[in-house]
A and B are shown apart, each in its own frame.
Chain A
Amino acid sequence: MAELILTRNFHRPDSHALRLYQETGGYEGLQRVLALPPVTIIETVKKSNLRGLGGAGFPTGVKWGFIPKGHPGPVYLVINADEGEPGTFKDRYLLERDPHALIEGMIVSAYAIGSHLAFVYIRGEYVQPWRRFARAVEEAYAAGFLGRNILGSGFDLDVVVHRGAGAYICGEETGLISSLEGKKGWPKLKPPFPAIRGAFDAPTIVNNVETICHVPHIVQRGAEWFAALGTATQGGTRMYSVSGHIRQPGVYELPVSVTLRALIYEHAGGLPDGRRLKAVVPGGSSAPILRADEIEVAMDVDGLKNAGTMAGSAGVIVMDETVSIPEALMVVARFYAHESCGQCTPCRESTGWIFKMAQRIVEGKGRKEDLDTILDVARRGAGTTICAFYDGAVGPYISYIEKFRDEFEALIPK
């Protein structure tokens, strides 16, 4: 069993308490870290091959490097705790069971990028995680880990905890920023990228909860240690949310080099009742689906990319032979039609249209041209929108039909 880093305290009943966090080494190295030159921290994170764990897998240290040097105004750190990707529930565990790990990660990351105000944007439905996290922020202020002159280092950091209202699109980093600014959660045009002009027009770094939780460990134990845990292009472990037809659903922290087969059969106990695997969505609902014969694949960003899908948020949805793929497509299509923010024409219009076609097929009223229309509409819209939401929707539209076409055709009246 590989070493647990982020989830090491999860089994303890009071893992969220400051006392326990400190007893297990939390905040211990902070004073030393806050004496390092910020650029050293950024370099370390770069070398560690830490890649964003929110969905896009962008190298974290590289992103931090985009903050303009010597920027005269404020710089913000924003933590993405919106966790809306279907099949993903890891950040919730971190907020509930180890909130101080996130706070310590924020202190180190904010220090590295020169930010003195950090926002944590928590998904609206996450009530308990929000309570736990907000409580931890109070504890951290009281103990001098947040606020003015942290541990005598001269570094100041304030944290604002902000609750979202449940829109999936507010997890997209610029949609999140719009929402944080008090506007409708509409993604913004890029360029400019948030690191240049983000929240309230200031340079802003948006990172996922889990990404940030890794940072203190990397800085204390070294980039080489972290990089060695993973593959050549992605360091460390990550938390896989496993759900669906699986014997032991839950969150599994494993090196990113783990294979999908090992994750399902060795760690999560395989499928219940001796049922046969039909398909797996490996990285949240936006990741193209894999057939049962495609699971011999490493679960790191590039491994899954090479397999024609994506690591995304590492939400692994297991489907056994009882699943109707057309029905599954209808369900995801309904989700994307419901959650499209409606700004861009292709996304706004196609998501609704494709859902209607998928629903009609499931109801036995499909037309033989429907499948090709869905594929064509999906392909034509891909890559033409403001944010990656639509490309995410296209993942299931195309892969479900291409890989399980006979199932769809069987439903269409001759």
Chain B
Amino acid sequence: MPKLTIDGKEIEAPAGTNLIEAARRLGIEIPHYCYHPGLSIAGQCRLCMVEIGNNPRPQIACNIQVAEGMVVRTETAKVLATRQSIMEFHLINHPLDCPVCDQAGECWLQIYYMKHGLYEPRMMDEKVHKPKAVPLGPHVILDAERCILCSRCVRFCDEITGTGELGIFQRGDHSEIGLFPGRELSNPYSANVIDICPVGALTDRDFRFAVRVWYLETAKSICPGCSRGCNIEVHYNLRRPHHNQGRRVARLKPRYNREVNRWWICDAGRYGYKFVDDPSRLLLPARRADTQADEVVWEEIIPLVAARLSAYRPEEIGVLASPQMANEDLFLLRRLVDHLGIPNVDFRVPSRASGDEDRILIKADKNPNTRGAELIGLGPRPGGLDARGVLRAARERRIKCLWVLHHDLLLSAWPEEETREALRALDCLIFQGSNANGVSPSAHYVLPSATWVEREGTFANFEGRVQRFWKAVEPVGAALPDWEIIGRIGEALGMGPLPATAEAIFKALAAEVIAFRGLSYRELRDAGKPVASS
């Protein structure tokens, strides 16, 4: 590994590392706009100039790789003067409309201007005018005047999605980002260009004017949209509850994980959180007799549900767990099922729409934790029925009590009428989930769950990487994490006390399920860890 000196500090970095990355390892930030570690080197913004050895001309750090004995200086008078000039050039034609710009507060023009600006405007002539508020596709809107022509968005569409919708048209200071004729920015990853746009040129049509970014707080999380398990940040707003029509979750943003999603997420995942603050949320536990539904408190419904589960013979009960649930939920559920000796357990309910998949991130399995459900063992017990078999047996009244967790069975690949018949024939239908769906209206007992942003836990992605997600906001109404609902029912069934935390459950899980052996909740840290390979 070449050894070099940056600002007097020695560092070794693997051959091929560029100077921006090498400096970053030392905690030295070299300002830049066009460089992005996930894209090719463009060298266009000219901001990342540093001095190297005795070369009198500053060089761009993005395009220079580390070399043995190299001496790099990032804060010389010449470098600072160059940065100041480049910042001035970036701003002479910029509209300076921060007060009405969504990017304000997370804009790299603002950030670098504060640090490196000239602070003396010299440009007195008319600025170049370009199109504003141009929708490029379903998610992205362009303000060409704010664009600093770093070409990140163009490179993203050329290099990552390979869809090539965007180009830079015209020349000189009339250069302008735009769509090729007849194209629309509608690839399944289009909104990533908003994240990588360093300024307010590309903004999110969904988030636009919803909340000022300085009111947002952040929680680390995992996208529940498919089995890739992309790492994300949940940005939520509690400080200005009257903004954004009272919706707490304002947006999801990708979080870098080298092993999973690198810098990106898909659009389906990014905008797939709307159910969290949706009017369809189930707020209170409820029991239904005939057509009358009564909202009740947990203390009332838990013993009732426990009593029903003990009232039937185990073979008369079906449990449909969900791969939307976290490992902690699934583990307690498996314990409960084993405690009662219920053989008819499954988690696989094929959905009617076949899932799209590609070679980038998107997986056909739209569940975040299928692998976890498999490893923890929520399939049918020996002699037990699978999900389809359970519904068939329900129609034939051999299954009398069914506990459905999250699934909307009416959207399954199975004939809707048969499913309705099965649900009607049940003696007892328990539905546990976060939002009303096709099943919940016919349930005798409704158990409202917290969504994934309202609690913590772990998912195992399709490769068996166990990843943590953190709590962002409180559950709505009386909703509880699935593990807590299951644990309370278990407690009522005499299975021992409710575990205190998700972490405590994970500990028990790691002790009991071979694949999880050796994993510690804390040690999963931000990036997660793979399960033991079988």
Contacts and interface: CB of A to CB of B under 8 A. Distances in A.
Instruction: Determine if chain A interacts with chain B.
Output: yes
Interface of A: 167, 169, 184, 189, 191, 337-346, 348-353, 356-357, 360, 367, 369, 373, 377, 380-381, 383-386
B530 interface: no
Contacts of B125: 353, 356-357, 360
| Residue of B44, B57, B168 with most partner-chain A CB within 10 A | B44
B126 interface: yes
Contact of B92 (A341, A349, A380): A349
Interface string B42-66: 1111110100000001100001000
Interface stretch (B80-88, B329-337, B446-454, B470-478): B80-88
Contact of B170 (A342, A369, A380): A342
Interface in B142-170: 148-149, 151, 167-168, 170
A187 to B, nearest CB: 10
A352 B173 contact: yes
A184 B164 CA distance: 14
Given A352-B128, A384-B82, A386-B44, A345 B90 contact: yes
Contacts of B46: 344-346, 384-385
B41 interface: yes
A381 B168 CA distance: 22
Interface in B119-152: 122-126, 128, 148-149, 151
A165 to B, nearest CB: 12
B175 interface: yes
B92 A338 contact: no
Nearest to A382: B57
B90 A349 contact: yes
Nearest to A341: B171
A261 to B, nearest CB: 34
| Residue of A349, A369, A383, A386 with most partner-chain B CB within 10 A | A349
Contacts, number: 92
Contact of B175 (A189, A342, A373, A381): A342
A386 B43 contact: yes
B172 interface: yes
Contacts of A356: 125-126
Nearest to B47: A345
A345 B82 contact: no
Nearest to A343: B44
Contacts of A352: 93, 128, 172-174
Contacts of B82: 380, 384
A7 B81 CA distance: 49
B172 A381 contact: no
B106 to A, nearest CB: 21
Contacts of B149: 342-343, 345, 348
Contacts of B175: 342, 348
Contact of B89 (A189, A337, A349, A386): A349
A377 B85 CA distance: 8
Contacts of A184: 167-168
B171 A167 contact: yes
Nearest to A360: B125
Contacts of A350: 89
A345 B49 contact: no
B171 A380 contact: no
A380 B43 CA distance: 18
A349 B122 CA distance: 13
Nearest to A168: B171
A357 B123 CA distance: 9
B171 A346 contact: no
Contacts of A189: 41-43, 63
Contacts of B45: 345
A337 B58 CA distance: 24
Interface in B398-451: none
A279 to B, nearest CB: 26
A169 B171 CA distance: 10
B89 A345 contact: yes
Contacts of B93: 349, 352
Contact of A381 (B63, B85, B128): B85
- In the A-B complex, the 8 residue pairs with the smallest Cβ-Cβ separation, listed nearest first, are A342-B175, A352-B173, A349-B89, A380-B85, A340-B172, A356-B125, A189-B43, A343-B44
Contact of A337 (B81, B90, B124, B172): B172
Nearest to A340: B172
Contacts of B90: 345, 349
B528 to A, nearest CB: 37
B177 to A, nearest CB: 11
A106 to B, nearest CB: 31
Contacts of A169: 171
B81 A351 contact: no
Given A345-B45, A384-B46, A386-B44, A373 B172 contact: no
26 contacts: A184-B167, A189-B43, A339-B171, A342-B168, A342-B170, A342-B171, A342-B172, A343-B149, A346-B46, A346-B85, A348-B89, A348-B173, A349-B92, A349-B173, A352-B172, A352-B174, A353-B173, A356-B125, A356-B126, A360-B125, A373-B122, A384-B46, A384-B85, A385-B46, A386-B43, A386-B44
B172 A348 contact: yes
Given A349-B89, A349-B93, A384 B172 contact: no
Nearest to A350: B89
Nearest to B45: A345
A376 to B, nearest CB: 8
Nearest to A384: B46
A353 to B, nearest CB: 6
A337 B85 contact: no
Nearest to B56: A383
B196 to A, nearest CB: 18
Interface in B369-406: none
Nearest to B57: A383
A338 B172 contact: yes
Given A342-B172, A345-B86, A345-B148, 12 more contacts: A338-B172, A341-B171, A342-B168, A345-B45, A345-B90, A346-B86, A346-B89, A348-B172, A353-B92, A353-B123, A353-B125, A386-B44
Nearest to A376: B122
| Residue of B82, B124, B168, B170 with most partner-chain A CB within 10 A | B124
Contacts of A345: 44-47, 86, 89-90, 148-149
